[in-house]
Every structure is written in C-alpha cells, then in structure tokens.
A and B are shown apart, each in its own frame.
Chain A
Amino acid sequence: MPAITPLLIAQLVIIVVVFHALLLSAAAMVWVERRLAAALQQRLGPIRVGWQGLLQPFADVIKLMFKEELRPKAADALLFALAPVISATCAFAAFAVVPFGGETTLFGLLPEGMRLQVADVNVAALVIFAIASMSVYGIVLAGWSSNSKYSLIGGLRSSAQMISYELSYGMALVSVLLVGNSLSLTDIVNGQAGAWFGVIPKWFVFLQPLGFLIYMTAGVAETNRAPFDFPEAEQELVAGYHTEYSSMSFAMFFLAEYINMVTVSAVATDLFLGGWHGPFLPASLGWIWFLLKVGALLFFYVWMRWTLPRYRYDQLMKFGWKVLLPVSVVNLLVTAAGVLYFGG
C-alpha cells in the first residue's frame, strides 16, 4: 500500500474532478448544441427550462431515465448490454492521459508541483490512438447485437468509416510528434511555450497548418459527427446503430459521442494550439486557457454540423481514402524533410 501523502489524495481528487468535469461537459454540450443550432437557424431553442434553458440537459436526462429499457427479443443480450458500456468506457478512458494544466501546487496546498493530468504516460499520444481504435467495438457490437437491418448496416458503415479515418488521424498525429520530438503530450505542450518575436505564440498549428486541418477532419469523422455522420443519419437509416436502444443505453451512446468530441478537441488543443500556455496568466492557472481553446474547437464542431450538408457514404469513404490519406502522407513527408533540414 502506498503511503497516504497529500500527493496521492490530490491524484484521487484529480480523477474524480476529471470524471465529473467530463460528465458536465457532455451536459453542457447538449445545451450549447441546441442553443447554437437555434441561433444559426434564427430561432430560439430551449429557453424555458431554468434560466436561458440551462437546465434543459438535466431535464433530458431525467426523461431518459424514466423511459422503459427495451431490448429486441432476438437481440444477443450480453452484447446488447455490453456495447454502450464499451463506447462510454473508451470515451472516458481516452481523457485519462490528456494533460490540461501546467505544474500547480493547488494554491500552496501541496509540497511540490503536480501536473493536471490523470496519468502521465510517456507514450500518451499512442495511448489515445489505441483507445480510439478500441471504441470501434462499441459501435460494431451495437449494430450486430440489435439484430435489425438498420442497426447492422449503420454499425458496419460507421465502423468502416472509423477505421478508414484512423489512418489519416494517425498520420497527422505522427507529423506533430516529429515536430514536437516526443510522444508524451506534456512534453509536446511544453515545447509550445513562448512566442516568436514576442507576439506570435509558438503553437504547432503555425508549423503544421495542414496537419491541423487533417487532424480535425479525421477527428470529426472518428466521432461520427456531421458532415460525416451518415451512419446515424436520421433521414436515411432511422438512427443507425442505436436504433434499437432506449433510455440509459441510448444516453450512454450520446454521452460517448460528446465526450469523444471533447477528447478530440482537447488533444487537438494540446498538440496544435499550445495547450495551457497563454498570455497574462501564470502556468498554474493555465487550465483556464485550456478550457477557452477547447471551447473554441467545440464551437467549430457544432457550427460545422449545422452548416454543412452531409456526405453520402461512398463520397465519405472516397474522401477518406483517396484524398485525406495521400494528403496526410505527403504532409508527413514534408514535415520529416523539414525537421531534417532545420535540425529539429
């Protein structure tokens, strides 16, 4: 048994805080999405439940909890129950290695600084990629175990889409790893401290603009969000792989989707936008900058969904394999040449 030091307690507190922050961020995203969609479509959206509709997500959750939990008779019971668990677990687990703040002593409570990260792994970037590839199983098992044609087609399409875009995601990630010279996310963020000429921050998005675009595109495709959300398109496939789910299992899938969005934005912030570094604030309060940057990326996510039309499935797969993958490989080659020439 390790000793009960203040550091250990702080680590446990961090775990609890991150878990609840993710849950709250999913709830907040529900509200943000609906209000933002309304604003983009020049209507009001939910404004009645609580002040400005802020309690709307909680009302939704309560409604979902009271719904009856259905299961089709021919569905495979074990897999039907397991699929949303896998989706939600992978969504939460990916955030375990994402650092969201600099060294902090929690206002002097700790004897030494502690980074705001649940687990400091020195192959953190690869762990995120690994967990992203595990989340395919939640969807494919949901599609298969529901024993319904809409679910099966939606599940297979969605998982094929996810594994196709994982390649470009990985290539864009590797390009940033070349520039950042480390696999650990904390080191990559710390490599983005400071500014050129005192004005332009040393973020990797300026060194890797194409990589950032590829990463965000592949991230949107990975999380099955518009314009790549054909597998759960309401018009074409009823609801895709979660057609047969109701009540809390359905809520789990949506929770998983929103948390995946938050994780992709958080990792993009760490890799490309300088993480928690920003002017005017000391490093120990850097998590405020982190939240602002993640919020900006989430705003783009929602904006894209309600502005762009949906890709048809064959257009989506064609884009992933014939456009995004070659572009990401070329980006990797150019980055490698650049790193070699400019000496790292």
Chain B
Amino acid sequence: MTLFYVFAAVAVLASMLVIAQRNPIYSVLLLIASFGALSGLYVLLDAPFVAVTQIIVYAGAIMVLFLFVVMLLNAPHEDTEFDEHVHPLRRPGAMRLGAVLAAALIAELAWALSRTGAATGGDFQVAGVSSVRAIGRSLFTTYAFPFEVTSVLILVAMVGAVVLARRDSGPSVPPGA
C-alpha cells in the first residue's frame, strides 16, 4: 500500500512540475520520472509487460524524440507579449480561463468518482492476467486486425513526419536534364 502511495505521489508531483516548468528540457525529464512512477504502478497491477513496454516505448523512445526536438529548436523559454518574468501559471487572460476550466474538470471528476461507491471499493476479486503469453495470444488472434492496422498507422506517421519536417528543397528536376 505504501508503495502505491509512493509511486502515485511521484507521478502526480512530477506531472504538476511538468506543466509548471519554464524550461522544456526540465519538463521532458520530469515527465520521464512520471512515466517511471507509472511503470511501477503497472507492476503493482500485475502487468509487468505493460510496465516494461512503457519504459521502452514512452520513456525510451518518445521522450528521446521530444528531447531531440527541444534541442533542435533551442527555444528554451516561453516568450509571450506579457512580461517574461511572470511565471506562466500566473499570467492573466486566457490563462485564468484555462485554469478555471481545469479546476472545474477536477471538481466534476471528484464528484463522479465519489458516487461510484461499492462497485470500485473492494479489493480486486479475481486474479489478474500477467503472462506475456496470454497477451500475445490475444493480440494475434482476437486483435489481429487492429494490430496490422497499427503497423500501417506507424508507417503513415513515419512518412508524414519525414515529409512535414523536411526543408523545402530546390526544384526536383535538375536544370538542363
């Protein structure tokens, strides 16, 4: 139980710091810490494969991509028409409306969760399925179609990312050809 609270506290604290940091590199690193905590929570939920995949895919690949882009763009600080010395979370205008909406969302979710009651209150009744074999079997039989579609999705995303990030090159036909 304490382990759950430790991981949960790290995840929440790191996420709050992510949205409060001015420097995007620190945001990325704090998000990696949050992912690590979530990975620990997955292990507590008897899902070791998901935990390891979280580290490999999210913390090890997606965040490296974010880090590369932040370094490439080299724009570490937010620049707005407001005073730069005011922390992002304290600026007036759209910020306040955004903060109010976020607070409203929290209140609504808290209310909704308080009404679920006994359905989610007890300990886990059944045993979890933690074997990778079961995941693999289900993935390649019941969910084979989404699996193949996902691979096409990744291909499309790769091609799209390369095309979108490409600098506009010169004429495609060399002059005189």
Contacts and interface: CB of A to CB of B under 8 A. Distances in A.
Any A–B CB pair closer than 8 Å: yes
B contact face: mostly helix, strand, loop, or mixed: helix
Which of B25, B32, B64, B68 has most A Cβ within 10 Å? B64
Given A133-B56, A134-B60, A122 B48 contact: yes
15 contacts: A76-B25, A122-B48, A133-B56, A133-B61, A134-B59, A137-B29, A137-B64, A137-B67, A141-B29, A144-B71, A152-B71, A156-B68, A156-B71, A159-B64, A163-B61
B64 A126 contact: no
B52 to A, nearest CB: 4
A121 to B, nearest CB: 7
Contacts of A130: 52, 55-56, 60
Interface string A142-157: 0010000000100010
B67 A123 contact: no
Contacts of A126: 49, 52-53, 56
Dominant SS at the A interface?
helix
Contacts, number: 51
Interface residues of A, number: 22
Contact of A136 (B25, B29, B60, B71): B60
B52 A127 contact: yes
Interface in B44-67: 48-49, 52-53, 55-56, 59-61, 64, 67
Contact of B48 (A79, A123, A152): A123
Contacts of B68: 140, 156, 159
Nearest to A181: B133
B56 A140 contact: no
Interface residues of B, number: 17
Interface of A: 76, 79, 121-123, 126-127, 129-131, 133-134, 136-137, 140-141, 144, 152, 156, 159, 163, 183
B25 A144 contact: yes
A136 B68 CA distance: 12
Interchain residue pairs A-B with the least CB separation, the first 10: A133-B60, A130-B55, A126-B52, A130-B56, A123-B48, A130-B52, A123-B52, A144-B71, A133-B56, A183-B132
A76 B25 CA distance: 11
Given A126-B56, A133-B55, A79 B64 contact: no
A79 B70 CA distance: 15
A140 B69 CA distance: 12
Contacts of B71: 140, 144, 152, 156
Contacts of A136: 60, 64
Contacts of A183: 132
B76 to A, nearest CB: 10
Interface in B21-47: 25, 29, 32
A152 B70 CA distance: 13
A156 B59 CA distance: 17
Nearest to A134: B60
A208 B126 CA distance: 41
A121 B48 CA distance: 9
A141 B49 CA distance: 28
Contacts of B55: 130-131, 133-134
Contacts of B59: 133-134
A126 B64 CA distance: 19
